[in-house]
């Protein structure tokens, strides 16, 4: 059975007080979340230690970005090994904001995936099309290329530490979201691409991101190829985030 994951990406938001209050509240309410659902919080790197401490055993910590280099004279960079040393279990790679604002390419994403996997962390490769690409009928081709290029060096048992997060760029922070059917269709395509790469496609979790909220999470998570969510703004509200974590259909 594929793992169910709800990961809260705080982006560049947070404070010591927020960590204490929000993570504490999520931890206290996590008993109402199914035991088979992995709750992940992905804060700015400066708060990783505090989140790991506050989260306890029920919450896994993730890092928003890592370097494509293992170590060395790269001022301002954080290595995957450092993230693991701070207690992280997951690392985001290739988020659309990294691609758009910082010029990260598929080749950079691939190098980061290699670093993440070699460090023992789970790599969450983020993929997604822009509105212009979708309207031009290129959505599936764009996403397929991002998956193939970003995971090109993955092989063997490394696939067990790969997660794909599909986030249509036009739905991130806009209040818009793909319909459950549209999201399912793309997730199914992603699984076909993975199968074509000789990956164990039916064992790899594929998450949906893009304005996921408590009122639409259940419909999304009920789809057969959607294994959870990468949550942005809603992860900064404890009650909403926990509601999303509870949104998986019973018995699935």
Evaluated on CA atoms 148, 153, 151, 97, the torsion sign reads negative
| Residues annotated within a binding site for substrate | 9-11, 173, 211, 232-233
The per-residue pLDDT for 252 is: 56
Residues of the chain with pLDDT under 70: 251-252
User: How far, in Å, CA of 25 to CA of 68, rounded?
Assistant: 34
Is residue 199 in some structural domain? yes
pTM of the model: 0.96
Question: Could you give the residue numbers annotated as active site?
Answer: 95, 167
Query: Which residues are 60's β-sheet partners?
Result: 40
Q: 10 Å Cβ neighbour count for 236?
A: 17
Q: Would you say residue 13 lies in a domain?
A: yes
Phi-psi region of 139 (alpha: psi -120 to 50; beta: other; left: phi over 0): alpha
Q: What is the pLDDT of residue 250?
A: 78
Residue 127 lies in a domain: yes
Q: Looking at residue 171, what is its pLDDT?
A: 81
pLDDT at 251: 60
Q: How many domains does the chain divide into?
A: 1
Can you give the CATH number for the domain in which 17 is found?
3.20.20.70
**Annotated binding-site ranges:** 9-11, 173, 211, 232-233
pLDDT of residue 211: 86
Residue 229 lies in a domain: yes
| Token pair in block for residue 185 | 């269709």
Q: Which residues form the domain of 30?
A: 4-246
Dihedral (CA of 9, 103, 107, 172) sign: positive
Asked if residue 203 is part of any domain, the answer here is: yes
pLDDT tens-place string over residues 36-71: 999 999 999 999 999 999 999 999 999 999 999 999
In a domain, 251, yes or no: no
Domain assignment of residue 136, yes or no:
yes
- Asked whether residue 252 is domain-assigned, the answer is no
């Amino acid at each position: 059975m594929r793992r169910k994951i709800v990961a809260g990406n705080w982006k560049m938001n947070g404070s010591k007080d927020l960590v204490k209050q929000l993570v504490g509240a999520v931890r206290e309410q996590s008993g109402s979340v199914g035991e088979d659902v992995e709750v992940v919080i992905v804060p700015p790197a400066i708060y990783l230690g505090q989140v790991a401490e506050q989260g306890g055993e029920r919450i896994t910590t993730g890092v928003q970005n890592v370097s494509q280099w293992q170590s060395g004279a790269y001022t301002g960079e954080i290595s995957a090994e450092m993230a693991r040393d701070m207690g992280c279990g997951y690392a985001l790679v290739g988020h659309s904001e990294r691609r758009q604002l910082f010029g990260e390419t598929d080749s950079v994403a691939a190098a980061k995936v290699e670093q993440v996997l070699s460090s023992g962390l789970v790599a969450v490769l983020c993929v997604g099309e822009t509105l212009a690409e979708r309207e031009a009928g290129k959505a599936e081709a764009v996403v397929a290329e991002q998956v193939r290029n970003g995971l090109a060096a993955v092989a063997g048992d490394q696939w067990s530490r790969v997660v794909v997060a599909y986030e249509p760029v036009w739905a991130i922070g806009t209040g818009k979201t793909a319909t459950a059917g549209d999201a399912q269709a793309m997730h199914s395509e992603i699984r076909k691409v993975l199968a074509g790469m000789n990956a164990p496609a039916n064992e790899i979790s594929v998450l949906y991101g893009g304005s996921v909220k408590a009122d639409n999470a259940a419909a999304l998570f009920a789809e057969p190829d959607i294994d959870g969510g990468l949550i942005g703004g809603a992860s900064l509200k404890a009650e909403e985030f926990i509601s999303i974590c509870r949104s998986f259909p019973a018995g699935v």
